Amino acid sequence: MPQVILLFSGKRKSGKDFITTHLQKLLGDRCEVLKISQPIKSHWAKEKNLNLNELLGDGFYKEQYRLDMINWSEKMRAKDYGYFCKIATDNALEKPIWIVSDIRRKTDIRWFNETYGNLIRNIRIYADDETRDNRGYEFKSGVDDVASECDLDDYNEWDLVIDNSNGKQDIEDQLSSIIRLVANS
């Protein structure tokens, strides 16, 4: 069992991967990064003979398959909302800190809460529209107006909110606030 599980969420191009990658470097061996989308992307890569590394990266490649991956994964979630969370955690190494970098739905938080109780900390990453646009975000129907992107819009129980808009908090401040949250856990 980890000692603390940091659940990161945020809209497309808010900077979830950017911040969690920096956090991973800072925490080193003490942490493990888990991605709920990993089993989805692995399945998709095998099924469609796609490049898994590109699907896991931050470039345009994965965007071509996002809609299909969302639709397929929703069918799986309809049968078992914790399906992908369970695979991601089953494959995780035994480390004191788990960083889950892609929480998207209330049912993700529910599953972690039911499974790990008070070990979880909810961190929301925010970036304003202009910043997200500059990072390559383009609205897509079926992607940006469905649960994958919107389900946590009205969720309010964050332990920490990070503003990752251009010109706001720098990465050192962002990481310090996360470390304080971990230290107080």
Ligand X SMILES: Nc1ncnc2c1ncn2[C@@H]1O[C@H](COP(=O)(O)OP(=O)(O)OP(=O)(O)O)[C@@H](O)[C@H]1O
Residues forming contacts to ligand PMV in the complex (CB under 6 A) are 37, 40, 62, 66, 69-70, 73, 102, 104, 148
Q: Is 13 in the site for ligand X (CB under 6 A)?
A: yes
Residue with Cβ nearer ligand X (17 or 108): 17
Q: Is residue 99 classed as helix, strand or coil in its secondary structure?
A: strand
Site for ligand X contains 9 (CB under 6 A): no
Q: Is 164 annotated as a binding residue?
A: yes
* Neighbour order of strands in the sheet with 160-163: 31-34, 97-103, 4-10, 120-126, 160-163
Residue 121 binds which entry of ligand X, ligand PMV, none, CB below 5-8 Å type-dependent? none
Residue 4 touches which member of ligand X, ligand PMV, none, C-beta under 5-8 Å by kind? none
Cβ atoms of residues 159 and 119 within 8 Å: no
Residue 68's alpha-carbon distances to 72, 73, 96, in angstroms, are 6, 8, 35
Nearest to 17 by CA among 36, 40, 43: 36
According to the binding rule CB under 6 A, does residue 39 interact with ligand X? no
Residue span binding ligand X (CB under 6 A) among the ranges 10-18, 73-81, 114-122, 154-162: 10-18
Give CA–CA dist 108/36, Å, rounded.
Answer: 9
Smallest distance from the beta carbon of 184 to ligand PMV, in angstroms?
A: 27
With binding defined as CB under 6 A, does residue 44 bind ligand X? no
Other beta carbons less than 10 A from residue 60's beta carbon = 10
Q: Where on the chain is the footprint of ligand X (CB under 6 A)?
A: 10, 12-18, 58, 135, 164, 171
